[in-house]
Every structure is written in C-alpha cells, then in structure tokens.
Amino acid sequence: MSGRRPGRVAGLVSGWARAAPRAGASAVANGSPARGERGAAVVEFVVVFLALLVPLVYAIVVMADVQRAMLATSSAAREVGRVYVTSPDRADAAGRVERAYAEVLGSFGLRPGRGRDRLVVDARCPAVPAGCAGGFGPGAEVRVVVTWRVAVARLPFLGEVAGPGVTVGATHRTRADRFRGFRA
C-alpha cells in the first residue's frame, strides 16, 4: 500500500454516520421517519396499487366478455346454418333456427332479444340444381350472420349502462346437400 493510510478513510465514513442532524432537518436523514410521516409509504402504495389494479381488472373483464361474445356468435352462426340445411321443410326450418340460436347463445350466458343481438339468415338457390325454390331445397346456399354488442360502460352492482360498446360478429356459409330429399 504505497502511501495510503487506511485509518483515514475509515475515520471519514464513521464520522459521517455519527454526524448530528442540522436544525430543521427531518428525522428521515437519521434513518427513522418523522412522527407525522409514519405509515405514509403504506398509504401511497395502496393508492397507487388500486389506481393501477382497478383499471387493469376492468379491462380484463371487458376483454373476457368480448371473447365470450366472439365464441358465442361463431358457434351460433355455425349451428343455425347447420340446422337450416338439415331441416325437412321450410316451416320447420324457421322454428329450428330460432330455437338453435337462443340455445347456443344461452349456453354462453347471453340472452337474445334484448336489442344487442342480430341474426340474419340469407338463403339463395343457385341456378344449377333443380328442386331448390325460394332458398330452400337441394343445393341451397345459406349465409348466416350473427352479431352481438358487448357493452363497455358498466357500474358495479348495476350492470351495463348506455355508452360505448364493441360489436362482434360471425358469418357462416353452408350449402344444403344436393342429393338429400326435402319436403316442399
């Protein structure tokens, strides 16, 4: 150790630790909080934590509802199309479509008929197969569109309020079997 005095550095460090606080300085400089500031860190943590956590949980709940609506509309469109093309006659098809639509949405916890849903069944007959008339029969092409509006504005214990929403939807296309027998 060329020319260094180890005791001098240690003396400075230990001297700093023993220094008395200046007049008017807070007790935080000594390492202990001032009497009026005890517990302030906990309160600040709770406030910041809640300010970040509440919007995050709200966003997760809304996105879960959007995902549920997406799965419900996709399943409903597919099932309505399948039910339509497998119906034996036109009168039976309309009843089965409505019943299947309500059951599929209900299995996802959604209740149709409250102004947030829409079902469109568009059936057409191509020019080639004979026996298809008015969108029903062998070779009929069916397009099903299901939409659902997910409300974004909600209040705890009150539910949805008027305001912005996210509309999700699904489209399914299917064709009735050309060699299957239908009743007119």
Give percent of the chain above pLDDT 90: 36
pLDDT tens, 34-46? 666 777 888 888 8
Q: Is the pLDDT of residue 71 over 80?
A: yes
Q: What is the pLDDT of residue 156?
A: 72
Tell me the average pLDDT of the chain: 81
Q: Is the pLDDT of residue 122 over 70?
A: yes
Give the pLDDT band of residue 160 (cuts 50, 70, 90): confident
Q: What is the pLDDT of residue 149?
A: 93
Q: What integer is the mean pLDDT of 40-67?
A: 89
C-alpha span between 142 and 120 (Å, rounded): 10
More confident residue, 39 or 79: 79
Q: What is the pTM of this model?
A: 0.69
Q: Is the pLDDT of residue 181 over 70?
A: no
Q: What integer is the mean pLDDT of 112-134?
A: 83
In the chain, where are the structural domains located? 40-175
Q: Of 10-14, 123-127, 136-140, 169-173, which gets the smallest average pLDDT?
A: 10-14
Q: Is the pLDDT of residue 28 over 60?
A: no
Q: What integer is the mean pLDDT of 151-166?
A: 78
Q: 24-33, 67-76, 86-95: which has the highest mean pLDDT?
A: 67-76
